[in-house]
């Protein structure tokens, strides 16, 4: 990726001001003036929203790999069981956000079934557990094609599934968000939850990659 500063989009001209932006600013300023919340409250939420990552999802998967009872609870009720790792989808002061209030489903990969998530309509994504969606997740190329040709799209990510593996594509929406629980890879026997969580990367929980014992997203591929 390059950053070509010579090709900035033009800054919005004054006559192109969005009335919705004007409305947003007015609401926020009035709410602050009336003491409904503080500027600091707002800033903290903005900063939080921009920094959340996939660590919550990684923790859910790692714990499920180690604890069969937790795994069953997670698969049965993702929204409620997420609270056990400190993620409350319904609590805006925790890790949920207003746009994320919805039902949360964890999809278990098995030797016979591989799951992958998408939002064909826009960019719905399980942010409380995975953070901000990667840019490619929002592209029409991914959204439109993965529901039609999932094997081909997964192959473009380097994930080649055997013909006998069923691929299930789950379309996120305003009411339902999904996360993939990948299978625990070989070579991880005896590992701690922390060590396991490190190999459960974002893409493995979207379903476009599989976790590997020799790979974490915390270090450069060139260093492995």
Partner 1 sequence: MSGDDHYPVLMATLRSADPGPPEPDRTPAPWEANVHATCACLSWRGTLDNLERRHAEDTLGQTTYADFPLHARAAVVTAHSLLERGAISERELETRMNQVRARFRQA
| Piece of the chain touching partner 1 by CB under 8 A; list 11-19, 75-83, 203-211, 216-224 | 11-19
* Min separation Cβ 88 and partner 1, Å: 12
* Min separation Cβ 182 and partner 1, Å: 28
Tell me the C-alpha distance between 42 and 55, whole Å: 23
Please give the residues from 178 up to 197 whose contact with partner 1 meets the rule CB under 8 A. Answer: none
Nearer to partner 1, 64 or 130 (CB): 130
Catalytic residue (choose from 18, 58, 82, 122): 122
Told to check if 113 binds partner 1 by CB under 8 A, we report: no
Told to check if 37 binds partner 1 by CB under 8 A, we report: yes
Told to check if 73 binds partner 1 by CB under 8 A, we report: no
Distances (CA, A) of 221 to 31, 43, 46, 102, 126: 47, 34, 31, 35, 26
Q: What is the dihedral of CA 64, 132, 199, 85, to 10 degrees?
A: -30
Is 176 one of the annotated active-site residues of the chain? no
Nearest to 108 by CA among 73, 147, 138: 73
Nearer to partner 1, 169 or 197 (CB): 169
Contact map string, positions 130 to 159, toward partner 1, x by CB under 8 A: ----------x--x----------------
* Min separation Cβ 60 and partner 1, Å: 22
Is 122 one of the annotated active-site residues of the chain? yes
Nearest to 206 by CA among 177, 184, 186: 177
Tell me the C-alpha distance between 166 and 158, whole Å: 17
CA 107 to chain centre: 13
User: Residue 118 in 3-state DSSP?
Assistant: strand
Told to check if 165 binds partner 1 by CB under 8 A, we report: no
Positions annotated as catalytic residues are 119, 122-124
């Amino acid at each position: 990726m390059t950053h070509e500063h010579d090709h900035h989009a033009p800054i919005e001209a004054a006559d192109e001001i969005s009335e919705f932006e004007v409305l947003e600013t007015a609401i926020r300023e009035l709410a602050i003036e009336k003491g409904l919340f503080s500027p600091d409250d707002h800033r903290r939420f903005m900063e939080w929203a921009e920094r959340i990552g996939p660590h919550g999802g990684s923790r859910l998967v790692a714990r499920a790999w180690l604890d069969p009872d937790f795994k069953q609870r997670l698969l049965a009720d993702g929204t409620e069981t997420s609270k056990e790792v400190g993620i409350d989808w319904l609590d805006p002061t925790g890790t949920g956000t207003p746009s994320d209030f919805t039902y949360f489903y964890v999809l278990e990969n098995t030797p016979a079934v591989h799951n992958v998530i998408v939002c064909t309509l826009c960019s719905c994504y399980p942010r409380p557990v995975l953070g901000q969606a990667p840019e490619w997740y929002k592209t029409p190329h991914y959204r439109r094609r993965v529901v039609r040709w999932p094997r081909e799209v997964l192959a473009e990510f380097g994930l080649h599934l055997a013909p006998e593996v069923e691929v299930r594509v789950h379309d996120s929406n305003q009411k339902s968000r999904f996360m993939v629980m990948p299978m625990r890879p070989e070579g991880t026997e005896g590992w701690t939850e922390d060590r396991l969580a490190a190999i459960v990367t974002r893409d493995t929980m979207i379903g476009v990659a599989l976790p590997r014992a020799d790979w974490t997203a915390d270090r450069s591929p060139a260093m492995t």
